Amino acid sequence: MKLNVVSSATDSQIKSGTSTVHMVSPEAGQGRASANLSATRISQLQDLKTRIHRKMVDRLDLSNIDGLDKDTLRKQIRDVVVELCDEENALLNHQERERLIAEVMDETFGLGPLEVLLADPTISDILVNGPHQIYIERRGRLERTNVNFKDNTHLLHIIDKIVSKVGRRCDEVSPMVDARLQDGSRVNAIIPPLALDGPALSIRRFGSDPVRIADLLEYKSISQEMVDFLSSCVIAKLNIMIVGGTGSGKTTLLNNLSSFIPSTERIVTIEDAAELILQQPHVVRLETRPPNIEGKGQIAQRDLLRNCLRMRPDRIIVGEVRGSEALDMLQAMNTGHEGSMTTIHANSTRDALSRLETMVSMAGFDLPVSTVRQQFAAAVNVIVQASRLQGGRRRVMSISEVLGMEGDMVTMQEIFCYKQKGVNADGNAYGDFWAAGIRPTFLEHLESAGVGLSAEMFEPQALLSDE
């Protein structure tokens, strides 16, 4: 089937064709070299690309795109773009011509200026602060790129392209939105009037090749003894809570711990914006829904959590507890759904308990603090704390066992920890992983589950140094 060429296009199609030439540092792009062009030349290329994109939309019959496979469609559109470049009779060298063609293809099939950044696997975060200020994080450090959108309208078009694919919207009625890319990367967008300097877009990359346990061990984010201990806890169906700040690697760690769940079990995941990538065959993924334009139809995590209890789950995994669903999560852990896991934003294990108490109060029940703490002590067996240290290194800082209650206080004991020793010449924190010298009280439970651990691994000792 061949793509027809016609002579007209709708106004909306033409308006969506805004584009710009964008260039990044050699490290940020793959196969697209950066060029030191003057501002005048960049402006000329921007105008040229806008004209070519509009002419392309004007020339194509978009009604029969569904009948073409992706490779055929890309080839035919590329041929049209090449033809239009020739018709413009612009004085372009080979590098400018190829880049111009690639940029028009990015606008047509991808996310425009973001495509060159998304193609770089070393970039972990893309932070767009308006159309002309884009930062990336690479290896734990922020750096500014010279990637640009043409204007606010162009950036808003790309945001709409992202969120509409997952059934969400971002407009004046709903100026904030959480979404995801096809590879599972997390997206947050906020637009005027809330964002004063233009639309802001944040993309937390997961990539097509997510970080695995072997990678965490290679990066020295965790020691082998910690991995053996946590995998045994998962298999033995202990309830685990992962705590940490923004960018500390909570979701990555949760993803990896879930890989130890036996493939014979039924798993239900609940998330605000789906990020978890589980490897087991029997997984049901649930995602919240924002209200519609009339302010109705919202489905929150608490609603999904209540519903999933009727779905016969062996394990419940909540991507992040952040509201009134905390009470339902604790009750689920206490009522036969052992082996459940979740994450929570907090700077330490004690802070996590305080936050949990606050979130339970959001459920609308006037429960005494002691009752909430009893629920927590009975529900959670292991708390894992992850942190992002100076220089961007991510480390599992602590693994603690929840022992129970002493009076009105929840008692815990640290099994493994990371002790920072200093900062090296490159500005990166370094230190050692340690076994604290305390044996967990549930060792017999691990034995009965067939995943017993050697008592020697809990002897007080340095396990790994990341100097």
| Among 17-31, 239-253, 369-383, 436-450, the least confident range | 17-31
Q: Is the pLDDT of residue 17 over 70?
A: no
Can you tell me the mean pLDDT for 5-28?
38
**CA distance linking residue 21 with residue 34, whole number of Å:** 11
Q: Is the pLDDT of residue 180 over 80?
A: yes
**CA distance linking residue 433 with residue 219, whole number of Å:** 13
Tell me: the pLDDT tens digits for 115-170? Answer: 888 888 888 899 999 988 999 998 778 889 888 887 888 899 889 989 888 888 88
Which is it for the CA torsion 107, 113, 115, 119, positive or negative?
positive
Predicted pLDDT of residue 6: 40
Q: Is the pLDDT of residue 106 over 90?
A: no
Query: Which of the four CATH numbers 3.40.50.1100, 3.30.1330.10, 3.10.310.10, 3.30.450.370 does domain 111-209 have?
Result: 3.30.450.370
Q: What is the pTM of this model?
A: 0.74
Q: How confident is the model at residue 45 (pLDDT cuts 50, 70, 90)?
A: low
Task: Outline which parts of the chain fall under CATH 3.30.450.370.
Answer: 111-209
Q: Side by side, which strands form the sheet with 461-465? A: 283-287, 267-271, 315-318, 341-345, 240-244, 382-388, 394-406, 409-423, 429-435, 461-465
How far is the CA of 348 from the CAs of 8, 98, 166, 331, 344, in angstroms?
A: 61, 51, 34, 23, 10
Q: How confident is the model at residue 59 (pLDDT cuts 50, 70, 90)?
A: low
Q: How confident is the model at residue 26 (pLDDT cuts 50, 70, 90)?
A: very low
Q: Is 298 exposed, middle or buried (0-12, 13-18, 19+ CB in 10 A)?
A: exposed
How far is the CA of 451 from the CAs of 10, 196, 260, 442, in angstroms?
A: 64, 55, 12, 12
Q: How confident is the model at residue 50 (pLDDT cuts 50, 70, 90)?
A: low
- How far is residue 336 CA from its own chain's centroid? 30
* Higher pLDDT among residues 39 and 66, named by residue: 39
Q: What is the mean pLDDT of the chain?
A: 81
Task: Outline which parts of the chain fall under CATH 3.40.50.300.
Answer: 213-465
Predicted pLDDT of residue 19: 37
Q: Which is it for strands 429-435 and 141-144: parallel, antiparallel or unpaired?
A: unpaired
- Token pair 């200026």 is found at 113
Are 384 and 399 in contact by the 8 Å Cβ rule? The answer is yes
Q: Is the pLDDT of residue 34 over 60?
A: no
Query: Nearest to residue 312, comparing CAs of 341, 336, 278?
Result: 336
State whether residue 15 is helix, strand or coil. Answer: helix
Predicted pLDDT of residue 203: 92
Q: Is the pLDDT of residue 74 over 60?
A: yes
**CA distance linking residue 222 with residue 215, whole number of Å:** 10
Predicted pLDDT of residue 452: 83
CATH class of the 213-465 domain in this structure = alpha beta
Q: Is the pLDDT of residue 210 over 70?
A: yes
- How far is residue 14 CA from its own chain's centroid? 33
**CA distance linking residue 242 with residue 383, whole number of Å:** 6
Predicted pLDDT of residue 18: 39
Tell me: the pLDDT tens digits for 331-360? Answer: 888 877 889 999 999 988 888 988 888 888
